Structure 1
Amino acid sequence: LGKPVSSNGFDSIAYINQRSADWGVDIAILIDRDRTRAVRELQNQGTLVVIPSLVENSPYTVLECLRNQVRFIASNVGGIPELVAETDHKDTLFTPTPGNLAETLQRHLQQNIGPARPSFTESFARQQWRDFFSSANLKSSSTTPKTNLTPLVSICLVHHKRPTYLLQAIESLRRQTYKNFEVILVDDGSDDPASISLLEELRKEFLALGWKLIQQKNSYLGAARNRAAASAKGDYIIFMDDDNIAFPNMVETFVRAALSSNADVLTSVMMLFSGDDYPDKTGPIWVTLGGCLGCGIFENLYGDAQSIWRKDSFDKISGFTVDYGLGHEDWELFSNALLSGLKLELVPKPLYWYRVNPHGMLRSGDAIANSSRSIRPFLKENPHGLGMALAYALSLNLPQSPATTKRRITFFSIFKSIPRLVRGGLNPTRRSQFIGVLRSRGFKEAMKRAIYKSS
């Protein structure tokens, strides 16, 4: 009973049929039951549910059997034993070995053993949750600083050739419930008439509010955000892209969370939307994990660049790296922060709209080059001497594209080239060569040549 698994040539149904071929009993594989029908199936007279998990947390399958008085046996791993009344452990739980499983099955087939009982009542569990949240609320209110509850926040807004989106982002900042903030808008080399016209219109408002408008040659996201942060006067800085839209309580919630958690940096859940219009309804949310360094080797589960930082903590790690034309600058920065000993937390509620753009930078960039950037903090810090091993693990996790196959750029060659690519990026001559090829032949050709030179 359950959902079939098919992965990397393994088919669970075929495996069960193969293993049970000589058992001499009829096997029924039920894969089409939803939760309600599955529970009803388990409640049929004469049913014994077997839960032979090797690893577990606190499984709902066990809870549902307990609640519905379904007879079951389960391995005594993870959180399973604490769900079952201690007096029923002997008849219900077994050490996950073939002999112990067979012995427990035989005992249930030979004896009239009733359903196991839970170790708690539902009313007791509800009261425990109430007590926990009450305690958490009291702790939160007692640890919130009593002074400087409204520190100055510098919102570092970066723009490049998206004037319509920029207007929406600024409008969302005008609606903020938190008032003690400044906006530092860095235009990263927009040369289209619409952007130039809008920037001129915004100057008067920015001047009146004490906000800053900075224009620079196109230098890409990392350099633009660093430029904004360098001009910030606030104790805290919030990075924001021109195509995102802040919830009215974004700054207020970020500040409250920063003060109560004493974190160096906080990301948040985000709400997704698409299209050119200002969002007017709820959408799907993207929940990340915050300071999960282990996951950060393979995927950015820290959160989006739209985050709040203590200004001194951001300065401590020297901000973003400034590789032109590459993405993953936020992923790299978060890993660098954690490896440098900073505290990264997650605000577990959406604080802004994240625009899903099919023509965005990450969807049009080079996935391998971007991912190579995101592992540099591990190479630099080399935790416990495993920096190269982590880089190699990531290279194995990257998708291989037809282009890299045709040019014979293998995962191994990329892995082998990573340290030299990093050092080459610090060499002014190599950097100038890269930029020259980038301008004349494009980004992919520039990266291919850089990899060949480094291999």
Structure 2
Amino acid sequence: MKSIVTIVMATYNRSHFILETLSSIQSQIYSEWECLIIDDGATDNTLEVISPVLDTDSRFKFLKRPDQYKKGLPGCRNYGIDIAKGDYIIFFDDDDIVHPQNLELCVTELDKNRASFCRYQRKVFFNEFDYNFDHSKKYTSFKIDVNDIGRILKNELPFNSCAVMWKKECFNENRFVEHLMFAEEWELYSRIVSAGIEGISINKCLFYGRKHSNSNTGEFYAHNPIRRASQADAVILVVQNLKEKQLLSASLIKYFITFSIGFKEYDLFNRVLNVLNLSIFSNLKWSLFYQSYPLRRPIYKIKKRLKK
């Protein structure tokens, strides 16, 4: 029998986008999938809009998030993980477009390689989507393991929430942290990879994220305090995890200290230092680094321009 893929899709008031997303899922070349549409308490007519799809394609299931799962994307996804029947799990958003080869190529890679996840490339689009897909199956790939944790956390090797297919076993000991309202996948995915779980990345775009102001990312960059507070909390969880696993390099410490400069309202710098529990000398060194950064920043910008 073919492997079954469980698609977990949290939805909240996306009646104007979700049909196009579901259509792109129905267009998948690989057909052995179930799609769990987890309603997070929508107040629009989403159910009415998608009812014709639910009535004609039994692979789609519309479910209400139970109260034991916290409201929000992480709670919906955890519910989907807990009831998934698939051998593989993938998370899709309710306003994006999926390449028709997405499931096919990911399953092929996971079936033939000793990998626990398959990462692929993702692009973004605005307004109308251009359906001129590249159907080539020729692409390069590379291995991802714990040695890449720094690149993942620094976003040099992006791990977007909808750009990875996972073997279900990756979630045996791992779930989304439900109080996080932003950077929840950054925290979880880095935690999975830091545990020694290995995967493969293929150099082909298989997912297209719709950009609009009402998305979580759009709200974060609009300085939404809930999203920003969540990012700060996610940093603390990541630092705690890396410290426990003895994976905190000097480069990563510098990265998190520098990152904390943009989150002064959440006292992120002192929270990071408290987790690190460094010597008095090291604390003094990083405090000086933190306080002098505004003076050094113009020099960094000049150096960056010169490199270009």
Normalising by the smaller structure, the TM-score range is: 0.7 to 0.9
**Residue 384 of structure 1: SS of its match in structure 2?**
coil
Whether the 8 Å CA contact 1:274–1:357 is kept in 2: the answer is yes
Q: Which residue of 1 aligns with 2:46?
A: 195
Provide TM-score, normalisation by structure 1.
0.51
Compared with structure 1, are the counterparts of its residues 263 and 202 closer, same or farther at alpha carbon in structure 2 (3 Å cutoff)? same
Whether the 8 Å CA contact 2:38–2:80 is kept in 1: the answer is yes
Whether the 8 Å CA contact 1:159–1:186 is kept in 2: the answer is yes
Q: Which residue of 1 aligns with 2:19?
A: 167
**Residue 17 of structure 2: SS of its match in structure 1?**
helix
**Residue 203 of structure 2: SS of its match in structure 1?**
strand
Task: State the AA in 1 paired with 2:237.
Answer: R
Task: Return the alpha-carbon distance in structure 1 between the equivalents of residues 267 and 178 of structure 2.
Answer: 26
Whether the 8 Å CA contact 1:236–1:308 is kept in 2: the answer is yes
Compared with structure 1, are the counterparts of its residues 210 and 176 closer, same or farther at alpha carbon in structure 2 (3 Å cutoff)? closer
Report the Cα offset of residue 336 of structure 1: 0.7
Task: Return the alpha-carbon distance in structure 2 between the equivalents of residues 385 and 202 of structure 1.
Answer: 47
Whether the 8 Å CA contact 1:380–1:387 is kept in 2: the answer is no
Compared with structure 1, are the counterparts of its residues 414 and 174 closer, same or farther at alpha carbon in structure 2 (3 Å cutoff)? same
Provide TM-score, normalisation by structure 2.
0.73
Q: Which residue of 2 aligns with 1:215?
A: 64
Match of residue 252, structure 1, among 92, 97, 104: 104
Report the Cα offset of residue 290 of structure 1: 5.2
- Correspondence 1:314 to 2:164: no
Report the Cα offset of residue 167 of structure 1: 0.5
Compared with structure 1, are the counterparts of its residues 375 and 260 closer, same or farther at alpha carbon in structure 2 (3 Å cutoff)? farther
Whether the 8 Å CA contact 2:28–2:100 is kept in 1: the answer is yes
- Correspondence 1:332 to 2:187: yes
Match of residue 394, structure 1, among 251, 256, 260: 256
Task: Return the alpha-carbon distance in structure 2 between the equivalents of residues 352 and 309 of structure 1.
Answer: 15
Task: Return the alpha-carbon distance in structure 1 between the equivalents of residues 25 and 85 of structure 2.
Answer: 18
Q: Which residue of 1 aligns with 2:55?
A: 204
1:315-347 deviation per Cα after TM superposition (whole angstroms, max 9, x unaligned): 2x32212114x2111111111111111113212
Compared with structure 1, are the counterparts of its residues 172 and 353 closer, same or farther at alpha carbon in structure 2 (3 Å cutoff)? same
Compared with structure 1, are the counterparts of its residues 304 and 393 closer, same or farther at alpha carbon in structure 2 (3 Å cutoff)? closer
Match of residue 271, structure 1, among 111, 123, 127: 123
- Correspondence 1:373 to 2:234: yes
Q: Based on CA coordinates, which of the two structures has the bigger radius of gyration? A: 1
- Correspondence 1:297 to 2:122: no
Report the Cα offset of residue 199 of structure 1: 4.6
Whether the 8 Å CA contact 1:157–1:240 is kept in 2: the answer is yes
Whether the 8 Å CA contact 1:296–1:302 is kept in 2: the answer is yes
Number of residues paired by the alignment? 258
Report the Cα offset of residue 201 of structure 1: 4.3
Report the Cα offset of residue 399 of structure 1: 4.8
- % of aligned pairs identical? 20
Q: Which residue of 2 aligns with 1:347?
A: 202
**Residue 229 of structure 1: SS of its match in structure 2?**
helix
Whether the 8 Å CA contact 2:118–2:165 is kept in 1: the answer is yes
Task: Return the alpha-carbon distance in structure 2 between the equivalents of residues 299 and 331 of structure 1.
Answer: 9
Whether the 8 Å CA contact 1:381–1:387 is kept in 2: the answer is no
Whether the 8 Å CA contact 1:157–1:183 is kept in 2: the answer is yes
**Residue 268 of structure 1: SS of its match in structure 2?**
strand
Report the Cα offset of residue 255 of structure 1: 0.4
Report the Cα offset of residue 200 of structure 1: 4.2
Aligned runs of 1:52-451 on 2, under 5 Å? Answer: 150-192=2-44, 194-206=45-57, 209-216=58-65, 219-275=71-127, 277-281=128-132, 291=145, 292-299=148-155, 301-306=157-162, 307-315=164-172, 317-324=173-180, 326-365=181-220, 366-367=227-228, 369-374=230-235, 376-382=237-243, 383-384=245-246, 386=248, 390=252, 393-400=255-262, 404=264, 410-416=267-273
Report the Cα offset of residue 351 of structure 1: 0.8
**Residue 364 of structure 1: SS of its match in structure 2?**
helix
Task: Return the alpha-carbon distance in structure 1 between the equivalents of residues 205 and 18 of structure 2.
Answer: 20
1:154-177 deviation per Cα after TM superposition (whole angstroms, max 9, x unaligned): 111221111122111110011111
Task: Return the alpha-carbon distance in structure 2 between the equivalents of residues 344 and 250 of structure 1.
Answer: 16
Alpha-carbon RMSD across the aligned residues, in angstroms, is 3.1
Segments of 5+ residues of structure 1 without an aligned counterpart are 1-147, 420-455
Whether the 8 Å CA contact 1:290–1:303 is kept in 2: the answer is no
Whether the 8 Å CA contact 2:27–2:100 is kept in 1: the answer is yes
Greater RCO (Cα-Cα under 8 Å, separation 6 or more)? 2
Whether the 8 Å CA contact 1:265–1:344 is kept in 2: the answer is yes
Compared with structure 1, are the counterparts of its residues 195 and 242 closer, same or farther at alpha carbon in structure 2 (3 Å cutoff)? same
